[in-house]
Amino acid sequence: MGIIAKKTTKTLQKKDPVKSILISQPEPSNAKSPYFDIAKKYKIKIDFRPFIEIQEVSYKDFRKQKITLLDFSAVILTSRNAIDHFFRLCDELRARMPDSTKYFCTSEAVALYLQKYTQYRKRKVFYGTGTMESLQKMLLKYKKDEKVLYPGAGKRNPELSDFLAENDFDFKEGVIYNVVSSDLTDLDSITYDMIVLFSPTGLDSLYENFPDFEQKDTRIAAFGSKTATCVEEKGLTLNLKAPSLGVPSMSKALELYVQEANKRKR
């Protein structure tokens, strides 16, 4: 049957209790994580297992891309992974980005993470509202003035790259890390009432490990519109989507769902 697929033929409804959840991310190091609170409050089992792994691109392989970091006046950073690996390469290549370098981020949360590596200045750090559209609008304001580097994973959503090319930006992409599927085959005989996905690559990993995966009774939660779209394109039923209006996090969305689903049980 493969991971998660139940052996019954009954279709779960929203009112059916949720007793077990698989979160496709590493277990939080913070003991105060809301996921632990949900498990304790509703007396349910929540397991954590990353569906993907991040593999760094060495500075030697990065050099083969013929990119000189100091040639760029602006850098687009769309995730914490991108920030970590960009500044790792800066250290390994002994390239100290000038204080004048501008950083364009998808959201405030990503922008604030920059403080781990560089002094945060509003005049050089810009961020959107978390949507690709907001990032694109912001970038258009600086198109004529900047030479832009867009570092990220080897396999990424081409939407932003296409936008930069179509709008004649002076830019270059750089591969600074790769996303690969984790080995999940040991979960073959384990079942869950719900699986929580956070990226299209997590969904790809599920099918790479279990090509014959069938959803059956398992409910699926997805974080982000792209992840949700990919779930539906696979012909799966999407039972929970986050974020939504007034519910910015997956943990909050999950708690509200479990609260409703387990109401009769309690």
In a domain, 26, yes or no: yes
Q: Measured in whole angstroms, how far is the alpha carbon of residue 154 from the centre of its chain?
A: 15
Domain that holds residue 247: 20-51+182-261
For residues 145 and 187, membership in a common domain is answered with no
In a domain, 61, yes or no: yes
Average pLDDT over residues 248-263: 93
Interhelix angle 159-166/132-140, rounded to 10 degrees, is 20
Average pLDDT over residues 10-29: 80
Q: Global pTM?
A: 0.76
pLDDT band at 109 (very low <50, low <70, confident <90, very high): confident
Residue 110 tokens read as: 């990503």
Whichever domain contains 229, its CATH number is: 3.40.50.10090
The reported pLDDT for the residue numbered 9 is 36
Comparison of pLDDT for 263 and 161, the residue scoring more: 161
Eight-state DSSP code of residue 79:
S
Average pLDDT over residues 220-244: 94
For residues 114 and 189, membership in a common domain is answered with no
Query: Is residue 10 over pLDDT 70?
Result: no
The reported pLDDT for the residue numbered 264 is 61
Number of domains in the chain: 2
For residues 167 and 252, membership in a common domain is answered with no
pLDDT band at 156 (very low <50, low <70, confident <90, very high): confident
The reported pLDDT for the residue numbered 215 is 93
Q: Taking all residues of the chain, what is their mean pLDDT, rounded to a whole number?
A: 90
Last residue of a domain, which of 148, 179, 210? 179
**Residue pair 209/181 in contact by the 8 Å Cβ criterion:** yes
In a domain, 40, yes or no: yes
| Euclidean distance between CA atoms 164 and 140, whole angstroms | 9
**Sequential DSSP letters for 151-207:** EEESS--THHHHHHHHTT-EEEEEEEEEEEE---GGGTT---SEEEE-SHHHHHHHH
| Euclidean distance between CA atoms 42 and 47, whole angstroms | 14
pLDDT tens, residue by residue, 72-82:
999 999 999 99
Last residue of a domain, which of 179, 207, 224? 179
In a domain, 5, yes or no: no
In a domain, 1, yes or no: no
Among 43-47, 57-61, 141-145, the minimum mean pLDDT is found in: 141-145
The reported pLDDT for the residue numbered 94 is 96
pLDDT tens, residue by residue, 119-154:
877 779 999 888 889 999 999 988 888 999 999 999
The reported pLDDT for the residue numbered 172 is 96
Average pLDDT over residues 166-177: 96
Query: Is residue 115 over pLDDT 80?
Result: yes
The reported pLDDT for the residue numbered 132 is 87
